[in-house]
Amino acid sequence: MNTSESNSPLVLMTNPIHPDAEALMRPHARLVTAADTNAQTLRALASEAAGMIVRAQLPDDILDHAPKLRGIVRHGVGLDFVPIDACTARGIPLANLPGSNTGAVTEHVFAALFHLRRRLAFLDQTLRESGWIVAKSLAGDLPEIGSSTIGILGLGEIGRNVARTARYGFGMRVLGHSRSGGTLEGLVEAVDRETLFAESDAVVIACPLTSETRGLVGADLIRRMRRSAVLINVARGPIVDEGALVTALRAGTLSGAALDVFAMQPLPTDHPLRGCPNLLLTPHVAGTSAESLRRMGLGAAEEMLRILRGERPLNLVNPAVLNA
């Protein structure tokens, strides 16, 4: 598909992607990266786009402004950024990249868990400010994660990898809840949501954002958690009721939490979460690493080139378009 610059199909990228991925596409397409991800900007740029590589929220009406669009590739896994039903209705294939950032997110989960339970940063601060003896005396109250229970809400690629790492890496008891009710061949004890929150020392949110999961982790489930437990969200911000979490952390009815995602992103500077004790905040980077960005970029580029050639993407999210 070597074409001249003038008649090459245009690929719109909502955000920059890895240089190796751009180099892979450049002989076959004109590449345009949006200056920002405002809805008005994306609508204007979509008018000539044959393909889109998506790393940010698309306007719900983006397809009304993209008459030449042949397909969309999600640079990552979560599909809440893209109007899936509209794509299917218009016969536009949509692909994503499951597994592309699983390792990075899993590492983030356990980094957060160690931060919250073993409190290395706090020990370091205490050593520097209060001395060796004071800091050393605190370690005796810190639990090992290997003797604890982890509960995983959502057993997709990321949830399954967290489960394997917890069980085989640290010998943890693993509880899980998912729509399928699967146990991963005995690796996970399948339980209802209430049991998962009540019996876990750490709860990891790893489910997709849907109409059913929006606000799912509210005051009722958070109240069921042990006072010594922690909550880790690496999925999507709106799954957790942030107000209920703020209340629990401030009241001390929950030991701690780690949030990588938020209902509003970027997190406002005056947001109540910023003042909560024992709360680790990161800017939606759980799936971001040097390796994962290159892997996702190349995967997105390869899928986009398949779409532009008229081929089926390897991971077609809406196969109903094949019947359109």
Q: Is the pLDDT reported for residue 141 higher than 50?
A: yes
What does 228-278 look like in DSSP terms, one character per residue?
A: T-EEEE-S-GGGB-HHHHHHHHHHTSS-EEEES--SSSSPPTT-GGGG-TT
The whole-number average pLDDT for the span 221-234 is 98
What percentage of the chain carries pLDDT values higher than 70?
97
Token readout for 103 is 């390792």
In this prediction, residues 35-48 reach a mean pLDDT of 97
62 and 149 co-located in one domain: no
Whether 123 maps to a domain, the answer reads yes
pLDDT at 324: 62
What average pLDDT does range 55-81 have in this prediction?
A: 96
Average pLDDT over residues 77-94: 95
Question: Which residue in this structure is represented by tokens 């592309």?
Answer: 100
pLDDT tens, position by position, 253-302: 999 999 999 999 999 999 999 999 999 999 999 999 999 999 999 999 99
Q: How many domains does the chain have?
A: 2
Tell me, yes or no, whether 32 and 144 share the same domain.
Answer: no
User: Between these two residues, 179 and 302, which has the higher pLDDT value?
Assistant: 302
- Note whether 195 and 69 are same-domain residues: no
Give domain status of residue 3, yes or no. no
Whether residue 1 lies inside any domain: the answer is: no
Q: What percent of the chain has pLDDT over 90?
A: 94
Whether residue 4 has pLDDT greater than 80: no
Instruction: Evaluate if residue 152 carries a pLDDT over 60.
Output: yes
- What pLDDT score was predicted for residue 3? 44
What's the one-letter identity of residue 115?
H
Whether the predicted pLDDT of 2 surpasses 70: no
Whether residue 172 is found in the same domain as residue 214: yes
pLDDT digits (tens, 9 = 90+) for 69-84: 999 999 999 999 999 9
283, 259 Cβ separation under 8 angstroms: no
143 and 169 both lie in a single domain:
yes
Query: Is residue 2 in some structural domain?
Result: no
Answer whether residue 307 shows pLDDT above 80. Answer: yes
Q: Are residues 160 and 246 in the same domain?
A: yes
Check which CATH number belongs to the domain holding 76 and give it.
3.40.50.720
Mean pLDDT, range 298-324, rounded to an integer: 95
How sure is the predictor about 179, in pLDDT bands with cuts at 50, 70 and 90? confident
Name the pLDDT band for 163 (thresholds 50, 70, 90): very high
Range of the domain at 23: 10-100+290-323
* In a shared domain, residues 26 and 68: yes
Structural domain contains residue 5: no
